[in-house]
Amino acid sequence: MSKPFARGLSVISALGRGNGRHTIASVATLTDLPRAVARRILTTLCALGYADSDGREFRLTPRVLTLGLSYLASLPYLAHAQQVLTETSHELGESCAMALLDDGETVFIFRIPTRKVLSPRLVPGSRLPSYATSPGRVLLSQLDRRHVEQYLRQSDLKRYTDRTLTTVPRLMKELQQVARQGYAWVDREYDPAIAGLSVPVRNAEGKTVAAVSANVLAEGWTEENAVKAFLAPLRRAADCIRFD
């Protein structure tokens, strides 16, 4: 990848952080770029319509959405997967989502919400820590053991709640269990009010390429009753979505 292109992408990513408004200085700090370079890239983004400025602060414009939408449009299975998970969400009465693994993080492709109050910030493109989420654990559990262990040891295993697993041995043991049972149940490890159950979506060769999940307000739910309520419907949905 060319250096200017890589720097441009890093600036776009930086502009999306926090409250979405950044000065040249804050962008330079977030991207570890010289201020002159950050200023030049920001000026180019404004000229192309991907950002605008009030003279001091910069923010992304809706045109940036075309970059992400181009990726979504390239997924031939997306419409079918959304229909399947919409039906599954209606059947369960709970929010459902589909996610992929990218550079060790869980990236949500879409989410089918319900009227129950769950995180309003979970939108297409949202990135969550894989080690602390149920779809992430499903996806990590299918990778080579040595690769996963190296990833975990190099990661900042932040404790999001008092339930978050943050030691490599405990996480590796949990991932082995997920691989054996074919699902992941994560209870209030990332969000103190949310639990979720996820299963893998496989391609024609049997390789895990995505995960689908049902997410609930955790109070009153246990792994046992979540498995009883969600596992079979989620597995049916995953089989219907199966990638060719």
Domain span at 41: 3-63
Look at residues 18, 41, 63 and tell me which one is the last residue of a structural domain: 63
Residues 107 and 20 in one domain: no
- Mean pLDDT within 130-154: 94
pLDDT band at 6 (very low <50, low <70, confident <90, very high): confident
How confident is the model over 94-113, as pLDDT tens digits?
999 999 998 888 988 888 88
Look at residues 63, 92, 113 and tell me which one is the last residue of a structural domain: 63
CATH code for the domain of 199: 3.30.450.40
Q: pTM, whole model, 2 decimals?
A: 0.76
Residues 100 and 137 in one domain: yes
Cβ burial 2-19 (10 Å sphere, 16+ → b, else e) = eeeeebbebbbebbeeee
**Mean pLDDT (the chain, rounded):** 88
Task: Judge whether residue 2 has pLDDT over 60.
Answer: no
- Mean pLDDT within 157-168: 95
Residues 57 and 161 in one domain: no
Residue 88 φ then ψ, to 5° = -65, -40
Residues 198 and 132 in one domain: yes
Residues 48 and 92 in one domain: no
Residue 76 has a pLDDT of: 63
- Confirm whether 124 is domain-assigned: yes
CATH code for the domain of 42: 1.10.10.10
Token digits for 176? 């082995």
- Confirm whether 68 is domain-assigned: no
Contact at 8 Å (CB) between 35 and 28?
Answer: yes
Look at residues 21, 36, 63 and tell me which one is the last residue of a structural domain: 63
How confident is the model over 173-225, as pLDDT tens digits?
999 999 999 999 999 999 999 999 999 999 888 889 899 999 999 998 999 99
- Confirm whether 70 is domain-assigned: no
- Mean pLDDT within 7-36: 86
Among 61-75, 90-104, 116-130, 173-187, the range of highest mean pLDDT:
173-187
